[in-house]
């Protein structure tokens, strides 16, 4: 009987110990899980922080990458960057041309003209691309014409300057008259007269930035307004206008959508009366240097 009591007591104690072990074991598992969750949460927070920090530092880089430094490398049709570089280097904000400086870069200018000759516009080009191409071409060839005869006092020192066929574009030899009258004027945008330059003081100034298809409209508007507001080239008031002879030579071009006064009032800061007295200024052919 005594032995039976001892065995019973031993079994009871063993059972209690097992129960305690079972009860206590689960208490350790949530603690481990909670600790792991804290680690994961901390790592996630750190990852989010790092991601936020990384995103913050990359935003300026993305902005700089998307925004081109100049508008001259954007067009997929033709890149006028080399001409823009020459203009920036040798033409002032006022449009004065450093022909001596251009002569030192004659190789670069010739390279640009060669590139023009190898990429003549076709019917797949947009009007904006064609305008930019032919305006830049006209101005580059005019500079080249002057350099071929420099030093001179005026473009008129050259015999038949606008009829010289020095340049082959595609399979044809061109002169300046053909580009102006047979191509640019037929595009029916009279603002071209303030973008192409005849190397003379009374001409519109040679812009020191190349024309591009992306900016052609704003550039033509700016060139027109600049020319009209220059008192050395035009004198404008409400009742009296003394205009450049460009408006006389190409009168038809400025009357496509109304009268000459209508055209002037689109681009002039002064509203001109339809009854304003009109006259024309003498044209100064001195070289624009």
The rounded distance, in Å, linking the Cα atoms of 49 and 64 is: 24
How does pLDDT run along the chain (289 residues), one tens digit per residue?
444 443 444 444 444 444 334 333 344 333 333 333 333 334 444 443 443 333 333 333 333 333 344 444 456 789 999 999 999 999 999 999 999 999 999 999 999 999 999 999 999 999 999 999 999 999 999 999 999 999 999 999 999 999 999 999 999 999 999 999 999 999 999 999 999 999 999 999 999 999 999 999 999 999 999 999 999 999 999 999 999 999 999 999 999 999 999 999 999 999 999 999 999 999 999 999 9
**Tokens in use for 25?**
């074991």
Strand ranges for the chain from DSSP E: 167-169, 172-174, 235-236, 240-243, 277-280
**CB distance 199 to 155 below 8 Å:** yes
Task: Provide the whole-model pTM.
Answer: 0.75
The rounded distance, in Å, linking the Cα atoms of 139 and 131 is: 12
Q: What is the CB-side half-sphere exposure of residue 53 using CA atoms within 13 A?
A: 6
Strand 167-169 versus strand 235-236 pairing type: unpaired
Region of 160 on the Ramachandran plot (φ > 0 left; ψ -120 to 50 alpha; else beta) = left
Q: Could you tell me the residue ranges of all domains in the chain?
A: 1-67, 80-280
Strand 167-169 versus strand 172-174 pairing type: antiparallel
The rounded distance, in Å, linking the Cα atoms of 139 and 124 is: 23
**CB distance 207 to 95 below 8 Å:** yes
């Amino acid at each position: 009987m005594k032995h039976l009591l001892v065995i019973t007591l031993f079994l009871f104690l063993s059972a209690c110990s097992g129960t305690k072990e079972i009860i206590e074991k689960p208490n350790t598992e949530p603690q481990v899980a909670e600790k792991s969750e804290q680690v994961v949460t901390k790592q996630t927070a750190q990852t989010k922080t790092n991601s936020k920090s990384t995103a913050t530092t990359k935003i300026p880089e993305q902005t700089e990458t998307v925004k081109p430094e100049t508008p001259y490398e954007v067009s997929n049709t033709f890149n006028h960057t080399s001409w823009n570089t020459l203009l920036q280097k040798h033409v002032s904000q006022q449009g004065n041309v450093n022909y001596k400086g251009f002569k030192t870069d004659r190789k670069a200018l010739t390279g640009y003209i060669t590139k023009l000759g190898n990429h003549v516009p076709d019917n797949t080009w947009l009007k904006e691309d064609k305008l930019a191409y032919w305006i830049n071409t006209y101005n580059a060839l005019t500079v080249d014409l002057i350099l071929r005869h420099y030093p001179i006092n005026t473009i008129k020192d050259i015999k038949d300057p606008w009829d010289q066929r020095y340049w082959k574009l595609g399979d044809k030899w061109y002169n300046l008259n053909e580009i102006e009258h047979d191509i640019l004027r037929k595009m029916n945008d009279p603002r071209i007269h303030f973008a192409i330059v005849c190397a003379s003081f009374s001409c519109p100034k040679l812009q020191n930035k190349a024309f591009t298809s992306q900016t052609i409209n704003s550039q033509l508007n700016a060139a027109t307004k600049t020319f009209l507001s220059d008192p050395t080239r035009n004198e404008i008031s409400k009742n009296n206008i003394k205009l450049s002879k460009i408006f006389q030579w190409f009168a038809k071009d400025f009357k496509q959508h109304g009268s000459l006064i209508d055209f002037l009032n689109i681009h002039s800061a002064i509203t001109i009366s339809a009854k304003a007295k009109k006259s024309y200024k003498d044209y100064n052919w001195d070289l624009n240097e």
